[in-house]
Amino acid sequence: AQSVTQLDSHVSVSEGTPVLLRCNYSSSYSPSLFWYVQHPNKGLQLLLKYTSAATLVKGINGFEAEFKKSETSFHLTKPSAHMSDAAEYFCVVSATGGGNKLTFGTGTQLKVEL
Amino acid sequence: GAVVSQHPSWVICKSGTSVKIECRSLDFQATTMFWYRQFPKQSLMLMATSNEGSKATYEQGVEKDKFLINHASLTLSTLTVTSAHPEDSSFYICSVTTGQAAQPQHFGDGTRLSIL
């Protein structure tokens, strides 16, 4: 069994300040972890993925995430928020041996203010 | 560029009609495609797994006779909502994958379905 918990349903930051979106997971297998972003009325775009290689993963648009097994966390960060980052973010886990099925977190709405 | 093409992006139809949504993999042969449903302000809910050349696997609680899935080729899967009713109104999203372990899924842009 696997699950994902996104600790914040809404996060609001000022443009130019750091972004932190928190995610904790549980998995019976060695997990693969992903962050996806969804803009209104759009599908999901892959930001980055962790698949048992380097624990610090760099993604697109300046985002990165660190896999911490001891804390079962995979938090998403960005040093400086941009207005275009405002969107819904999903933390997702896929378990090896789980048939490639994804388990989604409930999402975090990121708001970026001037 | 886009990896997945989903069509139509938006459809409005009368109650009782059937609606077909197409999902095409543009960059690679997708042995597995997934269909999701998303309600407003909520996460994605997996409806079914579509495997090329075989019957789709439906998640618990999803009516297979209501949501017909056909995966006739390695680049195309279709979802048909049969005899649609207002409660079927939702955002439907497909995704494609090579099926290899740990590979990410690539998502279509979704279809907004509104049943009057």
Which residues are registered as beta bridge partners of B21? B79
pLDDT beyond 80 at B75: yes
| Bigger pLDDT: B105 vs B14 | B14
A54 Cβ contact partners less than 8 Å away, ≥ 6 residues apart: none
pLDDT in tens, A51-92: 877 889 999 999 999 999 999 999 999 999 999 999 999 999
Q: How many CA atoms lie within 13 A of A96 on its CB side?
A: 9
Q: Name the percent of chain A lying above pLDDT 70.
A: 96
What is the average pLDDT value for chain A, to the nearest integer?
91
The verdict on a CB contact (< 8 Å) between B34 and A46 is no
pLDDT category of residue B1 using cuts at 50, 70 and 90: low
CA distance A22 to chain B (A): 16
Q: Which residue of chain B is at minimal alpha-carbon distance from A105?
A: B43
Q: Is B1 helix (H, G, I), strand (E, B) or coil?
A: coil
CA distance B107 to chain A (A): 6
CA distance B80 to chain A (A): 19
pLDDT beyond 70 at B2: no
Helix spans in chain A (H): none
pLDDT in tens, B12-60: 999 999 999 999 999 888 888 999 999 888 899 999 998 888 889 999 9
Q: Which residue of chain A is at minimal alpha-carbon distance from B45?
A: A104
CA distance A48 to chain B (A): 9
The verdict on a CB contact (< 8 Å) between A32 and B112 is no
Query: Which secondary structure element, helix H or strand E, spans residue B57, and what is its range?
Result: strand B57-58
The verdict on a CB contact (< 8 Å) between A34 and B104 is yes
pLDDT beyond 80 at A103: yes
User: Which residue in B32, B93, B104 is closest to A46 by CB distance?
Assistant: B104
Please tell me the total number of residues recorded for chain B in this structure. 116
The verdict on a CB contact (< 8 Å) between A41 and B112 is yes
B47 touching A, CB under 8 A? no
Mean pLDDT, residues B79-102 taken together: 89
Q: Which pLDDT value is given to residue A51?
A: 83
